[in-house]
Structure 1
Amino acid sequence: MQDADATIYLTCTSNMISSGQREVVAYLVREGYVDVLITTAGMLAEDVIKTAKPFKTGELDADEAALREQGINRLENLFVPSDRYVWLGAIPLGLLHDFDSLIEDGMLADTIGLIAIGGGVPRHPPFMTNLFRGGADYIISISTGMEGDGSLSGAPRTRQYRGGKPKTMNG
């Protein structure tokens, strides 16, 4: 992707940031390995929350009912008391403007590389954008999605990349 001077999109879910991969993603963006980062709003919200009210580490086998009774949300072994979310309030984002720019920039790029880690919503904008240009040139896809759940994340490669055949595909 880099040798081809591709515009590189990285998609990931917010839980990846919350559960410890923040520095990896930040490094990739800061050092210019990634041109566009697409994630869910939870990434921003949980990152902001952590700066003022840290999360707590817990056990993976903790009792779910007991956690709920205590008002504790869970991100695997990270425990987030509900009061952490309450004080945050609304963060206004120019989502439609960002989406328009994403489509326009993606359609105008000479070469596109997609790195999709995890599933869900963050995957959709770059994959949809590339439908307009005949598909991405390079794709790396890492997901635990399973065929049969009807999701893009779990679709076999032949359906997942129907926007066109990439030059290089891994995952």
Structure 2
Amino acid sequence: KSSGAVPATTLLAIIGLWFLISVPLCFIGSFFGFRKPKIEHPVRTNQIPCLWEVIWGNKVYYLFGFAALVFVILTITCSEVTILLCYFHLCAEDYHWSWRAFLTSGASGLYIFIYSIMYFATRLQITSLTSTVIYFGWSGVMSLMFFVLTGTIGYFACLAFIRRIFMSIKVD
């Protein structure tokens, strides 16, 4: 009796169309496609190395190692800065550390967005409104993702630090 319900006959018709039209056409198309000769280009093409072949082949691609090293350095830096500022706040008897730890470490996402604004103003030659909206939309999304990533790193580092501090305190 629901207005959103699909009748069984309609569902069977869709499944029938899929099995009787779509699946046979897929196999017929692949049969004729594999029988065609390869496309010959009129010029010699350069074999551009693809990342997928590098990943699954026996070749070394150093970017992943550098990216992992940069991520480790980012994690250590976010953790140390957040722990240090959290320690200063705890010394001042300010126990509201959780959001402050997240925002302290996540502020680097704001820096990235400010840099994208400066890059847009000084380097890019974008004049259309659509391209500008797309650029700032994606820059905002990337900055927000980086904000959440670094904020989470800082929060969990500060949480581990505070737990470690309170585990070492002896209460009589």
* TM value normalised by structure 2: 0.22
Q: For the pair shown, which has the larger CA radius of gyration, 1 or 2? A: 2
TM-score, with structure 1 as normaliser: 0.22
Q: Considering fraction of residues, name the structure with more helix.
A: 2
Greater strand share, structure number: 1
